[in-house]
Structure 1
Amino acid sequence: MELQRRLWHCPEMIEFRTLADDHPDLAQSPLLRGALLTLKYAREHGSIGLTKTKAFKRVFVHWAVENFDWPGKTAEEMFRYNKVVNEYEFPPLEVLHFLLISLRMGRHFKGEFRLTKRGAELAGAPGRLFAELIPYFLFQIDHASYARFDGRPFGKWDIWMNVINVEADPGTTEAALFETFYGEPQDWHTAGWREMAVFSSCVLRPLEWAGLLTETREEAAGKHVCHVFKTSLWRSALNLDTDDMLRPMSVQ
């Protein structure tokens, strides 16, 4: 897998708060939810079968598609045109498989994916699993490798996240964020759509997969508009330098 050869090193550190295992905001993370389901599946079934190329076998891929409840990739959409789905055709699972092996929560043994002692422990500890999984996913993975783009956006995670912390606090758009960072009013319908795609795939999408951002899409005046909002998990989990620039949340 390309991810194994190209890790995106991030020297700066973003501080994550420690969340209890029963913290309600953890449910907003699709990646955490998929990891918990995968670890629990492997624990309950003893293992997950692998293909000769060491990908998850289709029977588990289909189970994952049906149970992950992944944003924009419902089972109905995934199976609409293909009755058979392989791991590489469901990118969240492909990335998650790599993460679990890299973080030594699982291992490949005799054609099977099996939990390590650490993986079995974290299967019942969502708060600890989030703390292990999400920072590694965001800051160490080369997101361009699974997004199928050659380029990477210019910038660093501490800058991106501190600016988004302020700009997306009341809600913003994908295009407005791009212009804030790069000074050019690009969007999916402009000549700079590829730069927008790279920024979206390598910055905004990982934050959405982590459960820190949520996006809504609409057609306005014949143009595709993507609105970006911080989730309550962002506010619960992150401690950022720009927090003192935020307006206090009103209590109704």
Structure 2
Amino acid sequence: MEGSTQCVVAGGGPAGIMLGLLLARAGVQVTVLEKHADFLRDFRGDTVHASTVRLMDELGLGEDFRALPQSRLGNFRLPVAGGGSVVLADFGLLKEPYNYVAMVPQWDLLNFLVAAAGQEPTFTLRMNTEVTDLLRDSSGAVTGVAYRSRDPLTGSPLESGELRASLTVACDGRGSVLRQRAGLAPHEYPDPQGLPPDRLSGREGPGSPAQGRRSGGLPGQGGAAEAGSR
């Protein structure tokens, strides 16, 4: 099966859906391809930072965004040896109303953005559609993507196809298929803190500080880390 669009975006995560929304708002015909059947999965982070909250307001989505189930982080503390703690980030120092980090389940955020993008006639989201390769012309220029759709119930392949586009954007995550097919090698930077990604919980409600706990030494000296609400 073949088709065409002005822009194809591989990956329906926050970056892909937000890009699709912005392009559609600008009148660009955009198609987002997402390999899963829904957004009900565990994600690395559910934080929405102040700059993103401001963007929601600029897009006219702020009021509805604040109505989503969420809590707010007012600061982030890290315990120190010998007792006590140090404030690593005090979001309350920022100007209102952007003086917090919102904790929003990512599936709620994605469904919210999809609903907003769906109001635009040039936006299309195709679930159960996994991008498998890049398409190129005789000169080697990228002209779109190859994809494989799957049955939403069984996960078995249904069909393979091609979607041609003037612009192809890879938003398909850390293990990006399109990045590999394009021969792009990301530059990795060492983490000076040595902290693995973890989840912050803001279930205590608005203004709750985030409490980080570390065992096995100070930051940068190894050991395990936890993060949660205080």
TM-score (norm 1): 0.21
Task: Identify, as 1 or 2, the structure richer in helix.
Answer: 1
Larger Rg: 2
TM-score (norm 2): 0.22
